[in-house]
Amino acid sequence: MTRWLLVASPMLLLIAPPGLAQEPPPMSEASETCLMCHEVLHPGIVSGWKSSRHAQVTPAMAMAVEDLGRKVSSEDVPQELTGVVVGCAECHTLRPGEHAGTFEHNDAQVHIVVSPQDCAVCHTVEAAQYSQNIMAHAHGNLENNAVYQDLQHHVLGAPTRIDGELSFEPPSADTKALGCLYCHGTSLAVTGVETRDTDLGEMEFPVIDGWPNHGVGRVNLDGSLGSCSPCHARHAFSLETARKPYTCKQCHVGPDVPVYKVYSASKHGNIFHTKQHEWNFDAVPWVIGRDFTAPTCAACHVSLVVDADGELVAQRTHQMNNRISWRIFGLVYSHAHPKDPDTTKIRNKDGLPLPTAFDGTPAADFLIGPEEQAKRRAEMEAICLKCHGTSWVKGHFTRYDKSHQTTNAATLTATGTLQEIWDLGAAEGPSAGGSPFDEAIEREWTDIWLLYSNSIRFASAMAGGGDYAVFADGYYTHAKRVAELQEWLEERRSSGERSESK
């Protein structure tokens, strides 16, 4: 009998989380009104919500939880919200005056796009942290940076030929929404009102430019930045979903940021994939060795993690870079993390809005210093050390730091080759008024730092390297691209000589 209970208990936990009453807590009348129609219209949304904690717990119940298990961080949730579950109306009619596009809908003042500032009513600490997360600023950091705009223009733009010459027309808003802004976030704007013929007769709805979108840096209709949906998906707000690496994969899958691919090929990823069926992804705090036996992305970067004795290993953070000393993603070199999540303020020594100069010099005034880097490294190591010995951890990070040096040195070499190509006039670089991203040979150079150096560094960080770091968008093609750049230069030199010797 005991054995049977042992097996059954995780299930029972799912059914009746500790602290939940047998009788479901009350729902507001407003939300009940919503469900009358929407349960029929959008059963997928409603069933997702019903499976969520929001449907099963009131803020008052959540605020009664003490210490590390507490999920509601606000101390002052408005009285009218505390006694009912968090239903449709609680979020979609919250702060109606703050949202452009709030519309009257069956006597309720509804807004379609719930924003982090809405969530902040109960989750104030997390929303404040996320506002300091560089991801919350992903829209502006891309759209308000002339260099990145130039790259985006030549990646997403419409290739056009006039008189046999190729140029790129600016990408349309739709293409940008499908491309970079899908992850970076669109900027939402109400552009009008439309009338739709619904099952309940004609109704009016706002027309929202930039919708749908759940990019991490979405600019919302209340002016707030970001979205909680990328990780806390849809209406189930499942911790399990947020803690599994498939969530991060949505935006971290290509060779520029091959996070999921590298993780999957790592020892950590191997253990996750083989053993996740035995883990508990819903426990708060999250207990190392009991709830999980290898980290997912969340364990190292976000979650509140404790050891089996309940001792704190790492605080929950929605800023997410508190444990990260380097920014792996090279622009064009990897570098210490930016101080401010708004990276448009950065100027390198050449006056460009880039965290490093083309010769590798970091824009040091705008980046965290060695002391902060060491502090963040120590916070990360505290997690590693719960499963690895000191020499293991030190050895890992020594190599990881070296991978930044060597990939950046290779980028410097490649940049030297490109500079010579520009000097030779074989391509038109910035000093001649050209874009560094519009010609094919320049894109060979871009590949080196944007795809292959990044892949190597991510593999080094998470997997410790290996076949991924070498053959899957790593060293192998990295070196090939460097050699191709050189070959191209030499061929143009020869052509030039052939022409001159005519």
Among 214, 218, 327, 404, the residue binding a copy of itself under the rule CB under 8 A is 214
Distance, CA of 175 to CA of 158 (rounded, Å):
9
Considering only residues 317 through 336, tell me which ones interact with a copy of itself, judged by CB under 8 A.
none
Among 60, 65, 189, 271, binds a copy of itself (CB under 8 A): 271
Residues 6 or more apart whose CB falls under 8 angstroms from that of 72 comprise 59, 62, 63, 65, 122, 123
Nearest approach, Cβ of residue 204 and a copy of itself (Å):
12
> Quick check: 163 binds a copy of itself (CB under 8 A)?
no
What does the DSSP 8-state code read for residue 385? T
Q: With contact defined as beta carbons under 8 Å apart, do 263 and 343 qualify?
A: no
Q: Does 147 bind a copy of itself (CB under 8 A)?
A: no
Stretch that binds a copy of itself, among 80-88, 120-128, 362-370, 434-442 (CB under 8 A): 434-442
Provide the strand spans (E) within 90-234. Answer: 103-105, 108-110, 158-162, 165-169, 189-198, 201-209
- CB of 365: closest distance to a copy of itself in angstroms? 29
User: Which burial class, exposed, middle or buried, applies to 182 when counting CB atoms under 10 A from its CB (0-12, 13-18, 19+)?
Assistant: middle
Q: Between residues 366 and 468, which has the closer beta carbon with respect to a copy of itself?
A: 468
Specify the DSSP class assigned to residue 286: E
378 contacts a copy of itself (rule: CB under 8 A): no
Give 127 or 485: the residue with its C-beta nearer to a copy of itself. 485
How many residues contact a copy of itself, by CB under 8 A?
A: 142
Question: Which parts of 272-301 interact with a copy of itself (CB under 8 A)?
Answer: 273-275, 277, 288-290, 293
- 308 in contact with a copy of itself (CB under 8 A): yes
Q: What sign has the CA pseudo-torsion 41, 42, 46, 49?
A: negative
User: Smallest gap, in angstroms, from Cβ of residue 360 to a copy of itself?
Assistant: 14
Handedness of CA 131, 132, 133, 139 (dihedral sign): positive
Residue 57 vs 236, nearer CB to a copy of itself: 236
- 149 lines the binding site for a copy of itself (CB under 8 A): no
Distance between CA atoms of 95 and 91, rounded to whole angstroms? 9
For residues 93 and 315, give the distance between their C-alpha atoms in angstroms, rounded to a whole number: 32
User: Which of 91, 120, 188, 459 is in the footprint of a copy of itself by CB under 8 A?
Assistant: 459
Binding to a copy of itself in span 173-192, by CB under 8 A: 174-175, 177-180, 182-183
**φ, ψ (nearest 5 deg) of residue 251:** -115, -10
Position 21 contacts a copy of itself (CB under 8 A): no
CA-derived radius of gyration, the chain = 26
Q: Is 15 in the site for a copy of itself (CB under 8 A)?
A: yes
Q: Is the peptide bond before 212 cis (omega within 30 degrees of 0)?
A: yes
Residue from the set 9, 10, 12, 19 that interacts with a copy of itself by CB under 8 A = 12
Whether residue 88 contacts residue 108, with contact meaning beta carbons closer than 8 Å, is answered with: no
Does 434 sit near a copy of itself (CB under 8 A)? no
Which one of 159, 201, 351, 433 is in contact with a copy of itself (CB under 8 A)?
Answer: 159
Q: Which residue, 235, 155, 209, 199, is CA-closest to 446?
A: 155
Segment lying near a copy of itself (by CB under 8 A), choices 61-69, 141-149, 366-374, 487-495: 487-495
Residue 34 interacting with a copy of itself (CB under 8 A): no
The stretch among 67-75, 81-89, 136-144, 305-313 that binds a copy of itself (CB under 8 A) is: 305-313
CA-nearest of 302, 301, 313, 323 to 375 is: 323
Q: Report the residue number, 14 or 64, with the smaller CB distance to a copy of itself.
A: 14
Give the residue with the Cβ less far from a copy of itself, 81 or 456: 456
Q: Does 102 bind a copy of itself (CB under 8 A)?
A: no
Closest CA to 200 of 29, 32, 40, 89: 40
